[in-house]
Amino acid sequence: MSYEIIDGKKISLQMQEEIAAEVKAFTAKGGKIPHLAAVLVGEDPASQAYVGSKVKTCEKVGFKSTLVKFPSTISEQELLNKLDELNNDKDIDGYIVQLPLPKHISEHKIIEAVKPSKDVDGFHPINVGRLVLDLPTYISATPYGITQLLERYNIETSGKNCVVIGRSHIVGSPMSILMAKNNKFANCTVTLCHSRTKDLKAHCLNADIIIAAIGKPNFVTADMVKQGCVIIDVGINRVDDASLPKGYKLVGDVDFDNCAPKCSFITPVPGGVGPMTIASLLKNTLLAAKREIYK
């Protein structure tokens, strides 16, 4: 079967251009320049890279950005004090706290300390609740990016069986909620699978759409995929590869080479879901600057 590769890099650039144009139009009418802050705790190279590219992309679309860095020894209270400052800073429209945090800091406490109107990651319980209740909200960036890919590739979802593998709070769970929504690029019958799921293969073979967010390289194999399936691969896994200068390569949760020939659409890794996450975060920040969710 011939399959189409869903080009997340291209769609992300398209979204960034749209956002840049909206910023121009909004500021020309006297609106403020959107301002995103990112809080980074510790020296984790992957987190540093993610935050670095978020800040860089802000500049590209005409946003202001502020990077707030702390050593991993910062106490929970000191971090909470900083969030309080950001919550009260009138110039900052939205901010994110890059996860994971050091073990001595409660992620739940930190997520709940972010003012919901500035929670552009969409992790605060109020924003998650608003998502469930179909109220305007910041949809967390990766799931929102995936819905954009489905929409912009005009992929039929209504009435389809969608299997989401992984039930994390940042990807799998919100994704399952979005795919079951009563709207054009959702309306799926959703099965949410996880490590306790019995006979995952049978669930996958019944799926018209598989969204894999597991964190295990090449976990979804061709024998789990039915002809014509749409596969969205969220996974980003480092696999050793001595032939490359870095000594590793990035692969997804799906065995792309063997699954792709059975698919109608499939996202690659890298270049699929990954680039969409940043574009979605910028979209949320623009909504925050325009006070479109919280007036």
Positions that interact with ligand NDP (CB under 6 A): 142, 165-168, 170-172, 193-197, 200, 213-216, 234-237, 273-274, 277
Backbone phi and psi for residue 201, each to the nearest 5 degrees, phi listed first: -60, -45
Is 121 annotated as catalytic?
Answer: yes
Rounded to whole angstroms, the Cα distance separating 166 from 284 reads: 24
User: Residue 254's closest CA among 53, 2, 5?
Assistant: 5
Q: Which of the following is catalytic: 16, 82, 93, 98?
A: 98
Does residue 54 have an active-site annotation?
yes
Q: Which candidate in 54, 82, 118, 283 is catalytic?
A: 54
Residue 98 annotated as catalytic: yes
| Dist. CA 158–CA 148, nearest whole Å | 15
Tell me whether residue 155 or residue 212 sits nearer to ligand NDP (CB atom).
212
Assess contact for 38 and 59: CB atoms under 8 A.
no
Residue of minimal Cβ distance to ligand NDP = 168
* C-beta closer to ligand NDP: residue 31 or 271: 271
SS3 120: coil
* Least gap, CB of 142 to ligand NDP (angstroms): 4
Alpha helices in 29-75 (DSSP H): 45-60
Q: How far is the CB of 12 from ligand NDP (least distance, A)?
A: 11
- Say whether the peptide bond before residue 100 is cis (omega within 30 degrees of 0): yes
In the complex, least distance from residue 22 CB atom to ligand NDP, rounded to whole angstroms: 23
Which strands form 64-70's sheet, in the order they lie side by side? Answer: 64-70, 35-41, 94-97
Picking from 207, 190, 186, 217, the residue whose alpha carbon sits closest to that of residue 262 is 207
Least distance (Å) between residue 40 CB and ligand NDP: 16
Q: Which is nearer to ligand NDP, 10 or 216 (CB)?
A: 216
**Beta carbon nearer to ligand NDP, 92 or 190:** 190
Q: In this complex, which beta carbon is closest to ligand NDP, that of residue 117 or of residue 176? A: 176
Beta bridge mates, 154 = none
Least distance (Å) between residue 81 CB and ligand NDP:
28
Q: Catalytic residue positions?
A: 54, 98, 121
